[in-house]
């Protein structure tokens, strides 16, 4: 067997990443195990895209924590439409627009609107949204930010947070959304913040914290970055390209000064 498989010296670097590197070869082909692992990862990524969000379970979990919430839907009525028409995922359905109008008519202004969106991986929301909210909500309370009821959106894109936050009278939108699944990260969640959200806001006016998950950016570090961006957004009244993440990386992630893993 050792004569059949040709190892790759880069395999030593796999302890630093989940990326498919240093796989070796069998003749001119990929060895059987990496080939099967690739097929499995591809199936997981496809499943993540089509997995429906269990919004009722999420809402019940929010209720048990004492956090008010409501459910909405984008103008993309089903998953197939959502995948083919990204524009429809950015706007609420007619029924949701009527719901937002009711909120707008009776709104009391608040600081922050939190919008939880299935995006391209509802699985990511089911895995990561509650752990992130469990850390985020106490921090917002500690800093005396007022928070609107949490909105849960099916078949949504990032921009759908803008009309929701505007209707709720929020000065800042925080959108938790399932990111496009990768072959090693079908459960990756993104967090977007937008100052003065309103329909027509472009992506240059947002900040993004990406790859929030157990095997990616840890929850504590994500909240540290998010609270910095929220605080600075309120202080400077802006978000996007003019607002930089100037938080320092956690020391344990940096390694020793001058250390080079290629020379170990």
Q: Say whether pLDDT at 1 is over 80.
A: no
pLDDT digits (tens, 9 = 90+) for 105-131: 776 789 999 999 999 999 999 999 999
Taking all residues of the chain, what is their mean pLDDT, rounded to a whole number? 89
Residue 15 within a domain: no
Q: For residue 23, tell me if it sits in a domain.
A: no
Residue 39 lies inside a defined structural domain of this protein: no
CATH number at residue 169: 3.40.50.11240
pLDDT of residue 149: 94
pLDDT band of 191, cuts 50, 70, 90: very high
pLDDT recorded at residue 3: 66
Q: Does residue 7 lie within any of the structural domains?
A: no
Tell which wins on pLDDT, 42 or 241: 241
Per residue in 206-215, pLDDT (tens digit) is 999 999 999 8
| Length of the chain measured in residues | 264
Q: Which residues contact 9 (CB under 8 A, 6 or more apart)?
A: 22
Residue 19 inside a domain? The answer is no
- Helix residue ranges per DSSP H, 89-218: 94-105, 122-142, 161-167
Written as six digits, the tokens of 15 are 């302890």
Mind listing the pLDDT tens digit for each residue in 211-255?
999 989 999 999 999 999 999 999 999 999 999 988 875 544 444
Check residue 259 and give its pLDDT: 56
Q: Is residue 119 part of a domain?
A: yes
| Rounded CA separation 122/178 (Å) | 6
pLDDT of residue 261: 46
Write down the pLDDT at residue 260: 53
Q: Is residue 176 part of a domain?
A: yes
What is the C-alpha separation between 32 and 4, in angstroms, rounded?
11
What is the number of domains present in the chain? 1
In a domain, 260, yes or no: no
Q: Is residue 75 exposed (0-12), middle (13-18) or buried (19+ Cβ within 10 Å)?
A: buried
What residues make up the domain containing 147?
50-250
* Selected residue with higher pLDDT from 183 and 90: 90
């Amino acid at each position: 067997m050792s004569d059949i498989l040709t190892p790759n010296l880069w395999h030593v670097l796999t302890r630093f990443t989940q990326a498919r590197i240093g796989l070796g070869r069998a003749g001119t082909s990929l060895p059987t195990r990496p080939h099967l692992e690739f097929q499995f990862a591809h199936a997981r990524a496809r499943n993540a895209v089509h997995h429906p969000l269990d919004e009722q379970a999420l809402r019940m979990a929010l209720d048990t924590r004492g956090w008010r919430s409501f459910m909405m839907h984008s103008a993309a009525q089903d998953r197939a439409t959502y995948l083919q028409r990204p524009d429809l995922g950015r706007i609420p359905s007619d029924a949701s627009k009527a719901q937002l109008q009711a909120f707008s008519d009776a709104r009391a202004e608040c600081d922050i609107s939190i919008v939880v969106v299935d995006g391209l991986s509802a699985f990511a929301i089911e895995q990561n949204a509650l752990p992130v909210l469990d850390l985020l909500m106490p921090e917002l309370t500690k800093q005396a930010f007022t928070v609107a009821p949490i909105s849960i959106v099916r078949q949504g894109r990032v921009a759908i947070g803008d009309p929701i936050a505007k209707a709720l009278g929020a000065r800042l939108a925080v959108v938790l959304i399932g990111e496009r699944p990768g072959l090693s990260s079908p459960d990756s969640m993104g967090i977007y913040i937008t100052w003065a959200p309103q329909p027509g806001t472009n992506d240059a006016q947002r900040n993004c914290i990406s790859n929030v998950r157990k095997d990616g950016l840890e929850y504590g570090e994500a909240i540290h970055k998010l609270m910095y961006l929220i605080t600075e957004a309120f202080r400077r009244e802006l978000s996007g390209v003019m607002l930089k993440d100037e938080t320092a990386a956690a020391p344990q992630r940096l390694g020793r000064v001058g250390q080079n893993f290629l020379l170990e």
